[in-house]
Structure 1
Amino acid sequence: MILQARIPYDLSQMKPLPGIAPLDPADWLKVDDAYAEQMAERERLLATRREAVLAIELEAMPAARELLDVVLAHLPASYARVGEQVTRPDGVVVTLDRSDPMGTLGVLVQEDLCLLQKRGDEHVLTGAVLCFPSGWRLADKVSRPLSIIHVPIPEYDDNIGRRVQRLFDGVQVGRPLMRVNRLYHDNPALFQPGPRLSNSDRANPATAPYLRSERQCLTRLPETQAVVFSIHTYVIERGPDTP
């Protein structure tokens, strides 16, 4: 069981979808108290369930390589880099593999990372390393547009869908955005691919012993113009004051 001691933001008043706010680029990537345990779980999943947690279209490889460079440029101060080797905050040394950018990212940072690129009128999920899904399977969503990715979320109606697509269109280089969510779980496992059959296929908020929250950020890559959707997952045990 991998848990954080706390969630470092207020979840008592949730904003309606899409609930987006500006983000300081220096505050994009996080290292928290569950870092070492989460990274060990990411390594395990990539070694034993790679086909379930990593997908990349051939056409998305330039964006994936650019994403690796951008992440390297934004690593928190607790990382150290010498040439093509990065020492993580937990002391593990990662050798950068430019031929496998998403796999390298998966063992480098706590965030799951999804690449979305504009095709026609919508952004499409063209690649991802998704070790900690909550109720969705990467294989079901890769190469699909935003409108399909969010099925079966009833709040994600046509109006919200248009707003989210405009949001993805409007993300500017150097001006990332952030939102958070709140999910109730009976099971604290980080890898929960599901899939959910409906939005009601969830734990009871009144009795669920665990609270899961995803810190979701959007940033645009300057060269390929791909949009990066990053997910930092927190799971805590609920107490009497947990919202």
Structure 2
Amino acid sequence: MTEILQTHIPYDAFAEVALPGISPMKMTDWLIIDEAYAGQMALREELLARRCGDVLALDEHACAAAAELLDVILELLEEKEGFLVSGTVVTCPDGRKVTLDGQDPLGSVARLVQEDICILQRQGDQHVLTGAVLCFPASWSLSEKFGKPLTGIHVPVDSYDDNIARRVQRLFDGVRVERPMWRKNLLWYNNPDLFQPRSENERRTPVDKSSAPYLRSERQSILRLPRSEAVVFSIHTFVVARENVATE
């Protein structure tokens, strides 16, 4: 598969913070359009065409939230350089013209932005994954996590103990409209592929951090939709060659 790389990460991926490592951000800073946009979007188009069932899922009870999410994103893209929103057609920075599909709002979202998107809605005492477009999974599988609550989604993450689970649930309960938050992670990889699904029963092969050629970091954002009150968890994936990490 062709390498799709960024040349840098716009934050300190190595800064140590206590879990869950959340910081506030401006709503206008939520969506990132970077130098890998064209490559990442080409791959997203390919995955949506060939493996849609593996990368997109939407519960019927989340349809209104997905439509609302598309409206929010379109409003933000109208202010982003390189985008032209004209009725039901959006011209993107890579020259593609995306025709919006009101019957498939998550599919439209997936073709506009680099971020993977998860929609979570409160059911009982936890938030449940009711919609997602996940083109760039890092060692997890949408089919295994769809319809599960936060505790089920994080199986088998060793650090996700009861204390962290309670703190994350409070975070999802407390996130306010127009007050998004973000965190980051990082992992070293031998393979730069963006699409790396893996079953929760299949552990990732250990990687030598001192020699692995690629650093993969996710900027994960959390925000609340105003009408549906659903929580959106988005993931912007950066993959940078080691030589560029060393330069920074």
Shared fold (TM-score, shorter chain, > 0.5): yes
Structure 2 match to 1:223: 227
> How many residues are aligned here?
243
Q: After TM superposition, give the deviation of residue 199 of structure 1 in Å.
A: 6.5
Q: Which amino acid aligns with 1:184?
A: W
2:188 aligned counterpart, secondary structure:
strand
Structure 2 match to 1:110: 114
Structure 2 match to 1:9: 11
Q: After TM superposition, give the deviation of residue 15 of structure 1 in Å.
A: 1.2
Q: Which amino acid aligns with 2:221?
A: C
Structure 2 match to 1:41: 43
**Of the candidates 128, 133, 136, which is equivalent to residue 140 of structure 2?**
136
Q: Which runs of structure 2 are paired with 1:101-180 in the superposition (5 Å)? A: 101-180=105-184
Q: After TM superposition, give the deviation of residue 136 of structure 1 in Å.
A: 0.3
Structure 2 match to 1:21: 23
RMSD of aligned Cα (Å): 1.5
Unaligned stretches of 5+ residues in structure 2: none
Map Cα deviations across residues 160-207 of structure 1 (whole Å, 9 max, x no partner): 000000000000000000111111111100000013547664422222
Question: Is 2:193 the counterpart of 1:189?
Answer: yes
Q: Structure 2 length as normaliser, TM-score? A: 0.94
Question: Is 2:82 the counterpart of 1:70?
Answer: no
Q: Which amino acid aligns with 1:88?
A: C
Instruction: Note if contact 1:112-1:131 (Cα within 8 Å) is conserved in structure 2.
Output: yes
Instruction: Note if contact 1:153-1:198 (Cα within 8 Å) is conserved in structure 2.
Output: no
Instruction: Judge which range, 36-45 or 5-14, deviates more.
Output: 5-14
Instruction: Note if contact 1:63-1:224 (Cα within 8 Å) is conserved in structure 2.
Output: yes
Q: Distance in 2 between matches of 1:93 and 1:106?
A: 13
Q: Distance in 2 between matches of 1:216 and 1:12?
A: 15
1:241 aligned counterpart, secondary structure:
helix
Q: After TM superposition, give the deviation of residue 13 of structure 1 in Å.
A: 1.6
Q: Distance in 1 between matches of 2:218 and 2:74?
A: 22
Map Cα deviations across residues 10-38 of structure 1 (whole Å, 9 max, x no partner): 12322121100001111000100010010
Q: Distance in 1 between matches of 2:219 and 2:247?
A: 17
Q: Distance in 2 between matches of 1:202 and 1:49?
A: 28
1:222 aligned counterpart, secondary structure:
coil
- Percent of matched pairs sharing the same residue: 55
Map Cα deviations across residues 104-154 of structure 1 (whole Å, 9 max, x no partner): 111111100100000000000000000000000000000000001001111
Q: Distance in 2 between matches of 1:72 and 1:151?
A: 34
Question: Is 2:93 the counterpart of 1:89?
Answer: yes
Q: Structure 1 length as normaliser, TM-score? A: 0.96
Q: Distance in 2 between matches of 1:203 and 1:196?
A: 18
Q: Distance in 2 between matches of 1:12 and 1:129?
A: 27
Instruction: Note if contact 2:140-2:200 (Cα within 8 Å) is conserved in structure 1.
Output: yes
Map Cα deviations across residues 26-77 of structure 1 (whole Å, 9 max, x no partner): 1000100010010000000000010110001111101110110011111123
Q: Which amino acid aligns with 1:123?
A: H
Instruction: Note if contact 2:144-2:199 (Cα within 8 Å) is conserved in structure 1.
Output: no
Structure 2 match to 1:57: 59
